Structure 1
Amino acid sequence: MEQTFGFHRTEILAAMLNALSLWFIAALIFFEASRRFDDTLDIDGGLMLGVGVAGLFVNMAAAWVLHRSAGESLNVEGAFLHVIADLLGSVAVVAAGVLVLSLGWDIADPIFGIIIGVLVLASSFRLLWKVVHVLMEGTPSHLDLHQLCQRLEELDGVTGVHDIHAWSITTGYDALSAHVTADATVMQDPNPVLQRLREIASIEFGVGHVTIQLEDSMENCGEDHHIEHPKGLTPNHRSDES
């Protein structure tokens, strides 16, 4: 099997393309704005205002539809940011059209264009940072590993948690691996404790894929990423994965 987690990361790659395409859109906005600083361009304020108002209503409707799901998926968030970019563009067109018609201020068009380009870049950087965080397997922002460790150590017989890793496979699907030390009583019948450890991680903390290795000591653990927790006695290993 080449993709053991399936194709969940496809959504993250699509979100990255969305973010990069927003950069391209911003570049086009800046280019067009620079052209419109030329005083020889004849700007039709009435046409600008009409197109801007029509686009404003269409983009408001699209933004309302996507807003409800934007927090559930980076890909949807990318689409939502595209719509917001269009919405801001429509607002700028309307504002510039009003200024051109009422004051004859043609320079308003490129000025508003540059402002919108900056806003589009800012929103795309936020999306791209989230994408990079997932691809670099950073700890999910909503998951407090210290609180999770404390909760696991509250179980009777558990003496410590170390070598804990948490990352996101895709939006809403997190993974966790950890080594847990326990006393001799637990090691005689580890299954109930392993089950309870998985339930805490999956149900209370929302982790979708949990891998826990139960040990009676961390002294012979070969992993480097340790969190300071109480140590057990002698090495003995049992693995459980869901």
Structure 2
Amino acid sequence: MQRYHTRIDPGPKERHLKPMSSHSHDHDHDHADHQGHGHSHDHSHAADMTSADSRRRVAIAAVLTGAFMFAEVAGGLLSGSLALLADAAHMLTDCGSLVLAWVGYKLAERPADPQRSFGFARMKILAAFTNGILLILLAIWIVWEAIHRLMDPVEVMGGMLMAVAVGGLVVNIIAFFVLHGGSKEDLNMQGALWHVAGDMLGSVAAIAAAGIIMATGWMAADPILSVLVAGLVLVAGIRIARQSGHILLEGTPEGLSSADISADLIMSIPAVSSVSHVHAWALTETKRLITLEVTAEPGACIETVRRDVKARLSEAFDLSHATVEVVSEPL
């Protein structure tokens, strides 16, 4: 079996065309390989504008939730409400998540350097994993405290609980609509949006606890409903930790299968006889990468096969960042 380096010296036509396919990009790989993408200055400018808008929306939501969190802490301590303290704790973690999302946007703007060839894109994944673990620990604490409250009931000031909880719901609704107006394709934005949605449910639980206490005097409603909030926190924490941990462990992204990719390339590209050494992973939630080795039919043009494979990976699997090694059986 003969091996060929995939980056062969281009012919005169390729030498003439290559500079046209490398415009406005700072990536370390050759964008002549990205057939069918049609990146342009207008596209890059639009992406920058979208990122700036998302960053601004996340900052507004972070300020809103962070400011009201202190009001909830004070109200929880004064009223004796665990539900309010639980919602404040949830709001604290969500404010932290919003800040991390903002930092993620800022770091993503920094270019790669010799020490970090992929730049700082993974920082938000590491932060998300840390945040997920903290959410799980927070949920455990809320449940533990609720058990103690049920065993040793504490007098709760229903009126103050109601006032602060209603204020929290209003703030969360405003933050929700601020984020809801952002990009629907931005997973970072969608994650922040769902955090605020969880806060809204926490505020509703606190309002329900206040209503029950004011109407019936049943103090157990407060710790019981705080456990419901803890359940929301726990589910969010497990989901975030699992997804970010999968990325940090370089697990195969959802929707990608080595067997499916190999079968598709063999069926769609006649010059490909076999595919091996397929490794797919993700740098972030949205940036997926793949490396693989392709065996070409005898006599096939190595460079043409390589370009066809990269184009097919981009078209069929949304894998625009691919490293493809092509080998050919001897004639």
Normalization by structure 2: what TM-score? 0.59
**Does the residue aligned with 2:218 lie in a helix, a strand or coil?**
coil
Mapping for residues 24-35 of structure 1, pairs under 5 Å: 24-35=137-148
1:10 equivalent in structure 2: 123
Out of 38-47 and 190-199, give the one that drifted further: 38-47
Residues 85 and 31 of structure 1: CA distance in aligned 2, closer, same or farther (over 3 Å):
farther
**Does the residue aligned with 2:305 lie in a helix, a strand or coil?**
helix
Aligned match for 1:142, one of 250, 255, 262: 255
Residues 128 and 76 of structure 1: CA distance in aligned 2, closer, same or farther (over 3 Å):
farther
Tell me how large the CA RMSD over aligned residues is. Answer: 2.4
Mapping for residues 120-199 of structure 1, pairs under 5 Å: 120-153=233-266, 154-186=268-300, 189-199=301-311
Aligned match for 1:62, one of 175, 179, 190: 175
| Per-residue deviation, 1:61 | 3.1
Name structure 2 gaps, 5 residues minimum. Answer: 1-113
- Residue deviations 1:216-241, cap 9 Å, x none? 2xxxxxxxxxxxxxxxx45x9xxxxx
1:114 equivalent in structure 2: 227
Counterparts of 1:70 and 1:27 in 2: how far apart (Å)? 32
Residues 11 and 40 of structure 1: CA distance in aligned 2, closer, same or farther (over 3 Å):
closer
Structure holding more strand per residue: 1
Matched, 1:208 2:320: yes
Counterparts of 2:133 and 2:183 in 1: how far apart (Å)? 21
2:61 equivalent in structure 1: none
**Does the residue aligned with 1:185 lie in a helix, a strand or coil?**
coil
- Which of structure 1's runs of 4+ aligned residues deviate more than 4 A? 67-71, 75-78
Identity, % of aligned positions: 34
Mapping for residues 203-242 of structure 1, pairs under 5 Å: 203-216=315-328, 233=329
Counterparts of 2:173 and 2:251 in 1: how far apart (Å)? 34
**Does the residue aligned with 2:212 lie in a helix, a strand or coil?**
helix
| Per-residue deviation, 1:212 | 0.6
Larger relative contact order (CA 8 Å, sep ≥ 6): 2
